Amino acid sequence: MSFSRRVKEELGKKLPAARHCQLAELTALISMCGIICINEQNEYLIKIRTENLIVAKKYFALIKAAFSIQCEVRISCHKLSPSFIIKRKVEQRKTESFAKKSCMLYELIVKDVQASVRILKAAKLLDEMGDIREELSPARNVLIQNTCCKRSFLRGIFLAGGSITNPEKSYHLEIVTPALKKAEQLCEIIKIFEIEARIVKRKKSYVVYLKDSSQIVDFLNVCEAHLALLDLENIRIKKEIRNTINRQVNCETANIGKTIRASVRQIDDICLIRDRRRLESLPENLIEIAKLRLEYPDVSLKELGSMANPPIGKSGVNHRLRKLSEIAKQIRED
């Protein structure tokens, strides 16, 4: 099971206790998946169409809880496009589930005209003239003024059009909306919780997305997906520890390499001085450090200084080795 599905399953089980929050989440589902049909008598009928069983169950439960209305459920199969099938095969590495090249489509219809109008009025999706609001966008009405209602609204929006990548691979949460106006309104609501979402156009849709791991955690907290939030935090901690260890190892490896390269260069200089019979003419302190370096080629400058008699510091060892390097340089020039 993907991480995104686990999040949606957790959100799908949460049914708000307060009716105003139920209406807010129901409005979000209708706004994202709803189709308002008009019959021959110019009357409204509400239809929800989705491929996600979790969304269908949540809509059914909200309609029943908020209005005590039973809606008609239709289940059908529809063919998938070849590009969608290839994408899903690559993602899941399973071809058996797509052998028939079809997917389940769930339609939930409120056929009762009076019930449909009652739902639309309660969801504030009808304007003063009794017409459907543009793009079914309820973001600026009184229905989602309370903080708890905004949480429920965002939960419904994510259920209907959101997804989140596996945090083991990368951090990315997105919600696909059909119109720019709806995407901008969604960003305004998310910003109330101090989360900065961005918008990008993808073909004919507009995607509201988050890429910062801490903001994704905050969004899951707003939607009350607490179990998924804990899983994400555990993964974040593991990745941070792993990255810290990798940085330390890389730093130590670089330091070891630097020490070895410096040691090889110092030994070359000392050997050159010794082969030209110039070592005996040097001061005692330089002779001592030269012999120690030849005897212990792998130790650091600090360890080399502790072996001297009397012991000297790292800067003292470095100064003497630099003197030897200058002498070797002069010999090469001569």
C-alpha dihedral (81, 85, 90, 91), degrees to nearest 10 = 100
Residue 140: what pLDDT?
A: 57
User: Which of helix, strand or coil describes residue 158?
Assistant: helix
Q: pLDDT tens digit string along 35-70? A: 888 777 777 888 888 888 999 899 889 988 888 888
Please write the tens of the pLDDT for every residue from 237-293: 898 898 889 998 898 888 888 878 888 888 888 888 888 777 777 888 888 888 888
pLDDT the model gives residue 296: 85
pLDDT tens digits along 159-188: 999 999 998 888 999 999 988 888 888 898
Closest CA relative to residue 222, chosen from 170, 292, 147, 283? 147
Q: Where are the alpha helices (DSSP H) in 142-225?
A: 147-161, 180-192, 213-222
Which one has a higher pLDDT value, 78 or 166?
A: 166
Average pLDDT over the chain, rounded to an integer: 83
Which residues partner with 75 through β-bridges? 106
Q: Which residues contact 109 (CB under 8 A, 6 or more apart)?
A: 45, 46, 47, 48, 71, 72, 74
Give the pLDDT band (50/70/90) at residue 87: very low
Contacts of 311 by beta carbon, 8 Å cutoff, 6+ apart: 305
Q: Are 209 and 163 in contact, with CB atoms under 8 Å apart?
A: no
- Residue 89's pLDDT band, with cuts at 50, 70 and 90, is very low
pLDDT at 19 over 60: yes
pLDDT of 293-308, one tens digit each?
888 888 888 888 888 8
Q: Average the pLDDT over 93-111 and give the result.
A: 62
Q: Specify the pLDDT at position 158.
A: 94
Report pTM: 0.71
Bond before 283 cis per omega within 30 degrees: no
Return the pLDDT at 137. 61
CA 48 to chain centre: 29
- Asked whether 287 and 327 are in contact (CB, 8 A), the reply is no
Q: What's the whole-number mean pLDDT along residues 196-219?
A: 92
Q: Which two tokens stand for residue 333?
A: 């020039």
Q: What is the pLDDT of residue 129?
A: 66
Choose between 46 and 133: higher pLDDT: 46
Please determine, for residue 90, whether its predicted confidence score (pLDDT) is greater than 50.
no
% of the chain exceeding 70 in pLDDT: 87
